[in-house]
Amino acid sequence: MKCPFCGHNDTQVVETRVSEEGDFIRRRRQCGSCEKRFTTYERPEVNFPAIVKKDGRRIEYERDKLRASMNLALRKRPVSTEQVDNAIERIEEKLLTLGQREIASNRIGELVMRELKKLDKVAYVRFASVYRSFEDIDEFKTLVDEVRR
């Protein structure tokens, strides 16, 4: 690997550690020329299915978009970042186990709603009210009644 400081091609691994979760490897390297140390991370490359929008467009899956929409629903709610991360990992795991090359955006919305319902009922109602585009108050009331049960 090339040294980020001097550009020399000869670097050696001086320490290797596996993360606690086991999902990446951290390596400390030292340059053979300038002797400076730097860190690299090794992660598996995973290909998520393409997202098919309602209008037929296909876009790449973006974890940050998923996190942003969940965080918007969870705004000012007592849910930790760790809980959100775990929910996102469950959603991503489901996307990968489906084994499909493409997935409809509404299917991801349903997965998000399922996770939000487990995390926080208010966030679930917030997300569902936008996601399902309620036309009148009766549809909203039906959702709230469903959550109360």
Look at the block and give the residue holding tokens 């090794």.
42
pLDDT in tens, 82-113: 999 999 999 999 999 888 999 999 999 999 99
Which segments of the chain does DSSP mark as H helices, in order? 63-73, 81-98, 105-119, 121-131, 137-148
pLDDT in tens, 41-68: 998 877 899 999 999 999 999 999 999 9
The answer to pTM > 0.75 is: no
Give the model's pLDDT for residue 77.
Answer: 94
- Partners of 102 in the beta sheet? 50
Nearest to 28 by CA among 16, 44, 43, 11: 16
Mean pLDDT, to the nearest integer, of 135-143? 75
Euclidean distance between CA atoms 104 and 127, whole angstroms? 18
**HSE (CB half, 13 Å, CA atoms) of 38?**
17
Q: How many residues does the chain have?
A: 149
Q: By the 8 A CB rule, do 7 and 16 touch?
A: no
User: What is the token pair recorded at 100?
Assistant: 């499909």
Confidence category of residue 20, pLDDT binned at 50, 70, 90: confident
pLDDT for 118-132, tens place per residue? 999 999 888 887 777
